[in-house]
Amino acid sequence: MRRSGKIIVLLVPIIALAAGGGAWFFFLRGRHHATPPEKSFALALTELTVNLADTDRPHHLSASVTLAIKGAEPEKAATECDAQMKDAVLMVMSQHRYDELLTTEGKQALREQILTEVGKVLAERKLTVDDVLFTAFLMD
């Protein structure tokens, strides 16, 4: 065999291996490092009762709230900080007045504030709150 024929015979497998390695790197490199999908968990905080911030006469709010929580292990982390989340919700609820919460806008503002404050508690555990749902809402 001539010298140029030997070079071609040696180069063809080397080029094929290089092409295969490049294809593997391009198409499969990220599959082993993919992040696990976030899990969702609904946590019910029931029968939360507070005095509202009214000064003219006493008013109360009794509510049940369900939090939609997302993260790697939301059940475990959410139960570990249950007391802190209840505290955050109660503190937000007690800042509102009866006349504010009579309106849809007032209830929506309360929902947004709960989402923000509970989100701060859960952020320490790398969790997020996707939604706040009122499952009971009674004022007197």
pLDDT tens figures, 17-41: 666 666 666 666 655 555 667 788 9
Our CA angle for 20, 25, 28, nearest 5°, is 105
Q: What is the pLDDT of residue 2?
A: 63
HSE at residue 100, side-chain half, CA atoms within 13 A, is 17
Q: What is the pTM of this model?
A: 0.73
Q: What is the pLDDT of residue 39?
A: 85
Q: Would you tell me how many other CB atoms lie within 10 Å of the CB of residue 112?
A: 12
Q: What is the pLDDT of residue 74?
A: 87
Could you say which residues of the chain have pLDDT below 50? none
Distance (Å, whole) CA 74 – CA 127 = 7
Q: What is the pLDDT of residue 73?
A: 84
Distance (Å, whole) CA 93 – CA 121 = 16
CA 58 and chain centroid, separation: 36
Q: What is the pLDDT of residue 37?
A: 72
Q: What is the pLDDT of residue 94?
A: 97
Q: Is 48 helix (H, G, I), strand (E, B) or coil?
A: strand
Q: What is the pLDDT of residue 111?
A: 97
